[in-house]
Amino acid sequence: MKTVNAQAEKLKLARDEFVAQWGALGTQWGINRTMAQIHALLMTAPQPMTTDDVMEELEISRGNAHTNLKELVSWGLIRAVVKKGERREYFEAEKDVWQIFTIVARERKRREIEPALALLAKCAEESSGIETPEGKAFNNQIRALEEFVGFASKMSDRISSMKYGFAVQLASKLLG
Amino acid sequence: MKTVNAQAEKLKLARDEFVAQWGALGTQWGINRTMAQIHALLMTAPQPMTTDDVMEELEISRGNAHTNLKELVSWGLIRAVVKKGERREYFEAEKDVWQIFTIVARERKRREIEPALALLAKCAEESSGIETPEGKAFNNQIRALEEFVGFASKMSDRISSMKYGFAVQLASKLLG
DNA sequence: TTGATTTTTCAGAATTAAATGAAAACCGTG
DNA sequence: CACGGTTTTCATTTAATTCTGAAAAATCAA
């Protein structure tokens, strides 16, 4: 019994560290700390958790827990599940790493690549008729960026719609 | 003459929009607005610019301009150049899109992927000896993440050390 | 319908990140 | 070495983001 307790304690420590640090990393990734922490918590949860569980575990307010749980649901990184005979919602994380990757890749594309592409297209268009040397240089630079970002966008699509096995196969050629 | 002025005006408008919007996008990318704006400004500058030029163009303080110029230099996205007979520094941007991409990819890897990998390795290690079912599940999940992130890290290295032509060749297979 | 439970919203508070501007440090020149 | 121009630093201010907590809305069972 002593051993089991000691091991449970060890697990709790490791998991708490993971959750805390993953939250800190989230900041770098441009997602907010709480959202990343909840994600880490649910990715490593043996069972689905309620809003109250999350509040208690992370010592955060209901509003905060709620907002970030919903945001994670909208990303598709977690989902709400219902337990029969229970009224409140439980949440569980997608645990498959390839799924997680494709979800994050798609979301980043949507939020980072697509707006950039739209801007570049607009500026390329607006500057296309300018015949001064500066105008031509500007237009060329914008078009070079546009071409590259468009290409990155297509790549992102292709990769994130691959089956995991195929991606691995492709990658092994690259890394081999 | 009228035409040239009109065109110059049109260019200024397009460029100003590009700079402003690229700055807004930067926020999404986890880069601060001013840094992204300066980068946009210099990428589309016909000539190298001084700190004062940047301050004037973006209407920002000296401290802000200075800090972000240095940050861009440390990333390698811009470089200081000296004009002979001139004492103050001029800055010019790297304009090659593949270069820009590899620089950003390397920096992101350093700031986003490597710390995550370190954390995952640590948590995998800490939880490796736990024999409870929860401990095993936790360890497995962490190791799956670690493996994937490590793999992404290697891929990132490989791609960003490729010659542009080779990357295009590879990509065309993928997109073809 | 009522009442209990749960979810959602949101104004204000707290925290964190970024910008300012002035002073200090730095440099090249006479 | 001292002067003018330039760069760098950093305490303070400002702006942006995130969090709280309580009230309102929604949901469901009786």
Sequence-ordered strand ranges (E) for chain A: 78-82, 89-93
Q: pLDDT class for B4, splitting at 50, 70, 90?
A: confident
- With a CB cutoff of 8 Å and minimum separation 6, the contacts of A123 are A142, B14, B15, B17, B18
A82 interfaces chain B, CB cutoff of 8 Å: no
Averaged over B44-73, what is the pLDDT?
A: 98
- Residue numbers of chain A with a pLDDT score lower than 50: none
User: Which residues of chain B have a CB within 8 Å of the CB of A15?
Assistant: 123, 127, 138
**A2-93: CATH topology:** Arc Repressor Mutant, subunit A (1.10.10)
Q: Letter for the amino acid at B109?
A: K
Alpha helices in B81-132 (DSSP H): 97-108, 114-126
Q: Which residue has the higher pLDDT, B54 or A175?
A: B54
B113 interfaces chain A, CB cutoff of 8 Å: no
pLDDT in tens, A35-74: 999 999 999 999 999 999 999 999 999 999 999 999 999 9
Q: What pLDDT, on the 0 to 100 scale, is given for residue A21?
A: 96
Q: Which of B119, B143, B147 to mutate to test the interface with A (most CBs of A within 10 A)?
A: B119
Distance from CA(B37) to C1'(D20), angstroms, rounded: 34
Check pLDDT > 80 for residue B75.
yes
Please tell me which of the candidates B98, B111, B152 has its beta carbon nearest to residue A28.
Answer: B111
A43 interfaces chain B, CB cutoff of 8 Å: yes
Sequence-ordered strand ranges (E) for chain B: 78-82, 89-93
Residue A31 burial (10 A CB sphere; 0-12, 13-18, 19+): buried
Residue A38 burial (10 A CB sphere; 0-12, 13-18, 19+): buried
- With a CB cutoff of 8 Å and minimum separation 6, the contacts of A107 are A75
Domain extent listing, chain A: 2-93, 97-175
Averaged over B111-127, what is the pLDDT?
A: 96
Distance from CA(A81) to C1'(D19), angstroms, rounded: 26
Averaged over B101-123, what is the pLDDT?
A: 95
Distance from CA(B8) to C1'(C29), angstroms, rounded: 40
B155 interfaces chain A, CB cutoff of 8 Å: yes
Q: What pLDDT, on the 0 to 100 scale, is given for residue A3?
A: 74
pLDDT in tens, B26-35: 998 889 999 9
- Eight-class DSSP state of B109: I
- Helix then strand then coil, in percent of chain B rounded to 5, is 75, 5, 20
